[in-house]
Amino acid sequence: MKNFLLLISVLMGLGAFAPLLAQTQHLGLQQVVDLAREQSIAAKQATTQKKNNYWQYRSFLADYKPQLSLNGTLPGFTRSFVEVMQPDGTISFQPVSNNNSMLNLALSQSLPMTGGTVFVQQQLQRFDDFARNNTLYNGIPFAIGLNQPLLRFNPMKWERRIEPLKFQEGNQQFIESLEQVALTATDLYFELLVAQVNLQIAEKNLSNNDTLYKIAQQRLELGKISQNDLLQLQMGVLTAQKDLASARQAAAVASLRLKMYLNSRDERELELEIPKEMNEIEVDPQKALAEAFANRSDAILFQRTLLEAERDVNRAKKENGVNASLNVAFGLSNRGARPTDVYQRPQDREFVEVQFTVPIMTWGRNQARTEVAKANQELAQQSVAQNKLTFEQEIFTQVTLLQMLQKQVKLTHLADQIAANRYQIAQERFILSNLSVTDLGIATQEKDRARRDYILALRDYWQAYYTLRLLTLYDFELNQKIKY
């Protein structure tokens, strides 16, 4: 009895789970878009790229903070024969065995306005002569210095202007990537939706054609229909069977493509809802253009391109002229037999050095490099101007397209309803022997065409909507900038 009751419980449990195993997953357009932004590989790649952009910018900022470093040589052991010049000018190879170790602690700070570096350091050096059993210490208790390029190109000055633009550009590219994910998900959504609608049409047509064919067989026996009309209906059944097989394959392929893009492991069959158009929205082309230039990474790219071209011209001019650098250091130094001797009554330590390079004869090379940089700057200005015009035209075109498609959706929806009603009437008239097979076929084709046209109009509308979001990074439904 216990085993019997256990078996009944198991069977009831399986029966309870059977609907779950067989159920389908119902999804709407917004759900698919949200899933794509959350779990698709493309969305994850965009997130990773954003992290990379963030840490690159953090690295850039850290370069302009004070840098504390410890470097040295520990140990620096040498045992060899070295060449030593004697007082009489001859050469003698003397054996050496020593250890020359050094530690240097330095705090440095870049100077972006001048391109130089100021530093503070402390150094201790130990020399062990093993051959003579002697140890000496040398050190710099304190020193401050400056390394300053003179009349040279200052890369830090330009980096502080360009790198923040790169960071902003990367952030906007992340938003654009997620909007591109939404647009791609919309394309795949409607690809599957069109396939499912075609499948529904094929199934309905097969059912209707089969029913009408059976009715026609009875009417043929009564002499109310010709053999030719019956054969035509039979061909309609065969065509509907072929269309059904093709529609099933297309729906299966489209479903797989959408699941793969969503990175979904759910084995349930997808059943998509037919989305409705939003409440009619009026998009001002000038507002769309202003938002695009304020939000898009392309607008930042235009600014960065011009700035980089200006930087390259400045570098060509500076590097083709007099190049000089000033190295200055002041501090204290001492030596002794013990480490503490270094810090007792140290002596002044000064260092001044100016290095320079003056081009005298370059055969026009320097001027050529400068002219090349100027020509590249002019080309960059022209390219940016052309890209801005293309950018503006793309925005205006997309706004116009969206406004037109809003009306197109309403018209095709109305046509779909009229065609469906007309087909219903035609079917009833055919059953009553008040309509020819040819007219019924025409009504069927118009019904199917109107249904497909409505779904395709919806597809074009939502693609245009998400494309406009991508081009402007602005939500015209909520009247706010898109942020993630």
pLDDT digits (tens, 9 = 90+) for 26-40: 999 999 999 999 999
pLDDT digits (tens, 9 = 90+) for 338-387: 888 888 888 888 989 998 888 888 888 888 989 999 999 999 999 999 99
Give the pLDDT score at 224. 63
The residue ranking higher by pLDDT, 445 or 192, is 192
Phi-psi region of 89 (alpha: psi -120 to 50; beta: other; left: phi over 0): left
Give the pLDDT score at 139. 93
Q: How far is CA 371 from CA 311, 341, 368, 385, in A?
A: 14, 59, 5, 21
Tell me the two tokens of residue 43: 């969305």
Give the pLDDT score at 173. 95
Q: Give SS3 for 259.
A: helix
> Is the pLDDT assigned to residue 137 strictly greater than 90?
yes
Assigned superfamily of 25-64+154-321+363-481: Outer membrane efflux proteins (OEP) (1.20.1600.10)
Give the pLDDT score at 1. 44
Write down the number of H helices and E strands in the chain: 9, 11
The residue ranking higher by pLDDT, 360 or 68, is 68
CB atoms within 10 A of CB 262: 22
Q: What is the mean pLDDT of residues 275-279?
A: 78
> Omega of the bond prior to 75 within 30 degrees of 0, cis?
yes
Give the pLDDT score at 15. 44
Please answer whether residues 159 and 60 qualify as being in contact, where contact means their C-beta atoms are separated by less than 8 angstroms: yes
The residue ranking higher by pLDDT, 215 or 469, is 469
Please answer whether residues 431 and 211 qualify as being in contact, where contact means their C-beta atoms are separated by less than 8 angstroms: no
pLDDT above 90 as % of the chain: 58
Q: Is the dihedral of CA 395, 401, 404, 407 positive or negative?
A: negative
Q: How many CA atoms lie within 13 A of 24 on its CB side?
A: 8
Confidence of residue 86 (pLDDT cuts 50, 70, 90): confident
Please answer whether residues 264 and 454 qualify as being in contact, where contact means their C-beta atoms are separated by less than 8 angstroms: no
Enter the DSSP assignment of 278: P
> Is the pLDDT assigned to residue 424 strictly greater than 70?
yes
- Which amino acid, 437? V
338 burial via Cβ count (<10 Å: 0-12, 13-18, 19+): exposed
Q: Give SS3 for 294.
A: helix
Give the pLDDT score at 18. 41
Q: What is the pTM of this model?
A: 0.82
> Is the pLDDT assigned to residue 451 strictly greater than 70?
yes
Please answer whether residues 107 and 122 qualify as being in contact, where contact means their C-beta atoms are separated by less than 8 angstroms: no
Confidence of residue 279 (pLDDT cuts 50, 70, 90): confident
* Per-residue burial over 314-323, b = 16 or more CB atoms within 10 Å of its CB, e = otherwise: bbbebebbeb
